[in-house]
Structure 1
């Protein structure tokens, strides 16, 4: 039996994959190494969403290939030739092939490279796992998506939508909660289209999970705006449940409808505005997270100005800002690219605006008192989340998994800081 080192990068779905891979490893009789230095085999779950991320993956692959290596995840599926260029002897495993983890490890340990990139997993519910965080249960509800965005390599890696059965997901959540999880993340490539292939919807799933008679909180993961008009009314109703964090991650990507058309996003800037207004009008304090790509091919000064205005108007709490980068195999990679210096300048302008808005949003919480669920230990503080999934930091003696009433005393761009209320 071998010591296996597992490390993962990217979205919550990638981390969920890493947890299940680790569970299969342990169930298969192997042990998890405490570091790559202490391992007999290294396994990396990769992400390929951006150039900077892919470059980081390549650097990690180069460092880990001194021992038998398995490269899993999106980069392995979307760019197998690139992986093999930097590590010719590495075995490859796709995001929907993790059921073959033990076979791949056994082959690799015996010096035989094995490549498993086909979609062989019908569902990922019910697999054993070793959690990265003992109180957070990451539950995948589907694989792939229904979109065809011109900039996105994730579709190449994870394929078309394959929703998992509602009952299987509910049973998985029950298992997580019974195993001590206080926070459940419902995650997939795109939660917004969950169930459209099997006759159900995301709001129906959220309602069923909320009915589980245990004390826990639900974080509903990323959903693209294009499917929101179909489900938003029902989704607002499902968010009425106190178990659901008042938080949405809805990546708009651009404020220009012309650019959104070129991206093949399937929605308009108005779609995003409507979603933000609908949820903030209903719940008041509500956290909106979004993604923006600056410098997409063909982006004019007016297109960029439209994006700036959208951010000013909607004031999202979290903006994941990215400079456009060509990803191999995507349609946008074949388009005429913008000048790098221009992209950099636009990114800097938007970055400064985002920081300003984030700080203003967070400062509105100063003086608030309420319950916080502490879910992560940072270097010198414990971080929690309030009902709106706002990060709350305290330096009092609390443990991960605790709940406590906190009074917010100050705010920064990065979160809220407070004291345990007596």
Structure 2
């Protein structure tokens, strides 16, 4: 059997695709890099936003039209969130839900033999220490927990990932150690909400970060997205952990809105005052911190005044990275019963925030022009050269370097999304 896998969406889902590939390879299934060579195509779907949903649906339909002789298996979040639509567009597709990855070979084998088999539903199976097939041995993703403790009104991902299920620190550290010994120079700790880690098991995120960072070797640790409400109880220790020299000075702390009223409507579980308190603590303790935030533009109850508060918040905290999303209804989300704001208003607000985003992030990056940075070279650039990361996880273009090494550079130019550099003489 030959299988082609394409994974969409977040880092967590990319790791799910690696697990599927690893399990199949252990069972003597050949993983191929082109569809033409495959007997079976696996579409590991993302469903977080409407444009992504449309992209997944179009992709499944196109594959069925262009490759009628090949069998298709759909995995990922769509399986759990919208099985009705999946059944409609792909009645002959097999399914493998994100909690059933250990059954990957069974699903593939049955599908190859002509059956339509569908494995879905929740489980407590660990995703740590299981077989993985990775394209990039330098960056290693470890899923530290799955699911969340939230009830955000706009989110459908929680219906796919379920309640919180944290994996043991000892298992995570063991996988990190093996990855580093095999050449990994960046360990990415990922989850739907890393700040929720251990709330169900009695362990702590700060402990996990320190234990991974204290492993032998030259590497960096990136900590994934943290929900503001769940960081509150452990903020000082998490700051202490991120101050470790092997941990990127980086936090991804979504806020979604600058209005307390909208945050309440979103059921976020925190206030702007609490958010600012957390950000202030981090910036005071880690001056070189890179702060990444998420903003939803045009939530159904967002007024002009609420939008102005979001603008004010961004101008106050000056994040280095801003991820903007236009609000759109999602399958099963509570906010989908609300009337969306007029498209013209949505477009105007989104354009305004996009302009502010570019100015803030470029201004933040410009402050680094002329500085010397020790950067970790992690991947080849799509247009030549290499992409490296500063200690604050800011991308830097390096023209001549060796993958997996640290090099000293002079920052020469800045854009809103990356830096340009010249190598310094040793």
With the shorter chain as reference, the TM-score category is over 0.9
Which structure 1 residue ranges, 4+ long, deviate > 6 Å from structure 2? none
1:273 to 273, 276, 287: 276
| Matched position secondary structure for 1:92 | strand
Stretches of structure 1 that go unaligned for 5 or more consecutive residues are none
| Matched position secondary structure for 1:291 | strand
- RMSD of the TM alignment (CA)? 1.0
Cα distance in 2 between the residues matched to 1:288 and 1:5: 36
Q: Which residue is equivalent to 1:336?
A: 339
| Matched position secondary structure for 2:48 | coil
Equivalent pair of 1:6/1:22 in contact (CA under 8 Å): yes
Equivalent pair of 1:290/1:320 in contact (CA under 8 Å): yes
Q: Which residue is equivalent to 1:132?
A: 135
Q: Which residue is equivalent to 1:6?
A: 5
Cα distance in 2 between the residues matched to 1:120 and 1:296: 33
Shift of 1:121: 4.6
Cα distance in 1 between the residues matched to 2:303 and 2:210: 43
* Change in CA separation of 1:244 and 1:324 when aligned onto 2, cut-off 3 Å: same
Q: Which residue is equivalent to 1:390?
A: 394
Cα distance in 1 between the residues matched to 2:16 and 2:263: 30
Cα distance in 1 between the residues matched to 2:107 and 2:3: 12
Shift of 1:76: 1.5
Cα distance in 2 between the residues matched to 1:170 and 1:293: 35
Cα distance in 1 between the residues matched to 2:97 and 2:313: 37
Cα distance in 2 between the residues matched to 1:299 and 1:19: 39
Cα distance in 2 between the residues matched to 1:367 and 1:222: 30
Equivalent pair of 2:220/2:248 in contact (CA under 8 Å): yes
2:191 to 188, 191, 195: 188
Shift of 1:276: 1.8
Q: Which residue is equivalent to 2:304?
A: 301
Q: Which residue is equivalent to 2:42?
A: 43
| Matched position secondary structure for 1:4 | strand
Cα distance in 1 between the residues matched to 2:155 and 2:264: 14
| Matched position secondary structure for 2:209 | helix
Cα distance in 2 between the residues matched to 1:270 and 1:46: 36
Cα distance in 2 between the residues matched to 1:400 and 1:83: 41
Cα distance in 2 between the residues matched to 1:62 and 1:230: 46
Equivalent pair of 2:145/2:165 in contact (CA under 8 Å): yes
Stretches of structure 2 that go unaligned for 5 or more consecutive residues are none
Are 2:233 and 1:202 equivalent residues in the alignment?
no
Q: Which residue is equivalent to 1:216?
A: 219
Shift of 1:399: 2.7
Q: Which residue is equivalent to 1:227?
A: 230
Q: Which residue is equivalent to 2:257?
A: 254
Are 2:285 and 1:282 equivalent residues in the alignment?
yes
Shift of 1:381: 2.2
Cα distance in 1 between the residues matched to 2:266 and 2:135: 34
- Say which is worse superposed, 187-196 or 33-42, in terms of deviation: 33-42
Cα distance in 2 between the residues matched to 1:378 and 1:82: 38
TM-score, normalising length: structure 2? 0.97
Q: Which residue is equivalent to 1:244?
A: 247
- Say which is worse superposed, 139-148 or 72-81, in terms of deviation: 72-81
Instruction: Summarize the alignment of residues 56-71 of structure 1 with structure 2, pairs less than 5 Å apart.
Output: 56-65=55-64, 66=67, 67-71=70-74
Shift of 1:267: 0.8
Cα distance in 2 between the residues matched to 1:417 and 1:272: 32
Cα distance in 2 between the residues matched to 1:24 and 1:56: 27
| Matched position secondary structure for 1:307 | helix
| Matched position secondary structure for 2:215 | coil
Equivalent pair of 2:124/2:165 in contact (CA under 8 Å): no
